[in-house]
């Protein structure tokens, strides 16, 4: 019987507070920039202790839905563009799932102290050790993608001794290192001599480029550039919306 507002079942109080606020943000009732009620106001409204509303607000802040500023209050954060779920699986899994034979070839692997370019690419300031890896993935013996990767050893010490001659670094990392944030940048280029040779395509042919950066908290794990032949490969994202 849904007679009352929504105290029907019985989620815990802080979850209800969180859900209430979340709903108002998502429906646009509280637009970006809107100041949500102060903790003491919510305490009064829900008749609970401050720690309870604090927990609700802290979780909303952790989820980037709101921003909290001392002395000023808590505010609805800006973004909320049209968002979609894009699944970019581990390449080995992707090819295997397509029912094609996966091939992997390690082209090069170097362990070095981070150069200025490496630090710039990883977005770190201190010069620690890194592993640079170049490799090629193929499907049914046809080049599928070339990979150029940098792994920060201060974040992933085990990568120094991992055997990447048989297991692709992407798969290895996925199974050994949890990540909290990542960023993909997708762009297009035309193949230069080196790319053309590695992918067995013509110089000047279009290539799809995916630059992926992965972090654990604020710490960089790895930066990878994947080059796909653009006319044969397609990145498909299917998702549900609202």
Give the residue, chosen from 12, 49, 83, 113, that forms a contact with a copy of itself under the rule CB under 8 A: 83
Q: Verify binding: residue 167, a copy of itself, rule CB under 8 A.
A: no
First-last CA distance in the chain: 27
Give the residue, chosen from 24, 34, 55, 77, that forms a contact with DNA under the rule CB under 7 A: 55
Q: Verify binding: residue 208, a copy of itself, rule CB under 8 A.
A: yes
The whole-angstrom separation of Cα 198 and Cα 208 is 14
Residue 237's nearest CA partner among 81, 79, 83, 97 is: 83
Does residue 135 contact residue 164 with C-beta atoms inside 8 Å? yes
> Smallest gap, in angstroms, from Cβ of residue 207 to a copy of itself?
6
Does residue 198 contact residue 143 with C-beta atoms inside 8 Å? yes
Q: How many CB atoms lie within 10 A of CB 160?
A: 12
Beta-bridged to residue 143, according to DSSP, are: 138
Does residue 168 contact residue 154 with C-beta atoms inside 8 Å? no
Q: Which stretch binds DNA (CB under 7 A): 6-14, 139-147, 215-223, 233-241?
A: 6-14
Report the SS3 class of residue 153.
coil
Q: How many CB atoms lie within 10 A of CB 38?
A: 14
120 binds, among DNA, a copy of itself, none (CB under 5 to 8 A by kind): none
Q: Verify binding: residue 185, a copy of itself, rule CB under 8 A.
A: yes
Give the residue, chosen from 184, 194, 200, 222, that forms a contact with a copy of itself under the rule CB under 8 A: 184
Torsional sign, CA 15, 17, 22, 23: positive
Q: Verify binding: residue 54, DNA, rule CB under 7 A.
A: yes
Q: Verify binding: residue 63, DNA, rule CB under 7 A.
A: no
> Smallest gap, in angstroms, from Cβ of residue 226 to a copy of itself?
12
Q: Verify binding: residue 190, a copy of itself, rule CB under 8 A.
A: yes
The whole-angstrom separation of Cα 221 and Cα 172 is 13
Q: Verify binding: residue 99, a copy of itself, rule CB under 8 A.
A: no
Give the residues lining the site for a copy of itself (CB under 8 A).
22, 25-28, 59, 62-65, 77-90, 93-94, 97, 155-158, 174-190, 204-209, 216-217, 228, 230-231, 233-242
Give the residues lining the site for DNA (CB under 7 A).
12-15, 38-40, 47-52, 54-55, 57-58, 61, 68-74
């Amino acid at each position: 019987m849904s007679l009352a507002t929504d105290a029907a079942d019985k989620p815990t109080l802080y979850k209800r507070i969180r859900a209430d606020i979340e709903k108002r943000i998502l429906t646009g009732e509280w637009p970006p920039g809107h100041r949500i009620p102060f903790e003491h106001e919510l305490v009064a409204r829900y008749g609970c202790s401050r720690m309870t509303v604090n927990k609700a607000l802290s979780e909303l802040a952790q989820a980037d839905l709101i921003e909290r500023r001392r002395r000023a209050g808590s505010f609805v954060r800006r973004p909320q563009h049209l968002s979609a779920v894009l699944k970019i699986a581990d390449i080995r899994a992707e090819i295997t799932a397509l029912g094609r034979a996966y091939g992997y070839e390690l082209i090069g692997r170097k362990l070095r102290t981070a150069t200025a370019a490496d630090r710039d690419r990883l977005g770190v300031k201190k010069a620690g050790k890194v592993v640079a890896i170049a490799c090629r993935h193929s499907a049914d013996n046809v080049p599928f993608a070339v990979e150029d990767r940098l792994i920060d050893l201060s974040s992933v010490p085990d990568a120094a001794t991992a055997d990447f001659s048989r297991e692709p670094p992407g798969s290895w990392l996925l199974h050994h290192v949890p990540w909290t944030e990542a960023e993909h940048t997708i762009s297009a280029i035309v193949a230069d001599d080196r790319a053309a040779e590695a992918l067995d395509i013509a110089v000047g042919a279009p290539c799809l480029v995916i630059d992926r950066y992965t972090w654990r908290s604020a710490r960089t794990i790895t930066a990878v550039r994947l080059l796909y032949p653009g006319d044969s490969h397609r990145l498909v994202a299917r998702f549900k919306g609202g």
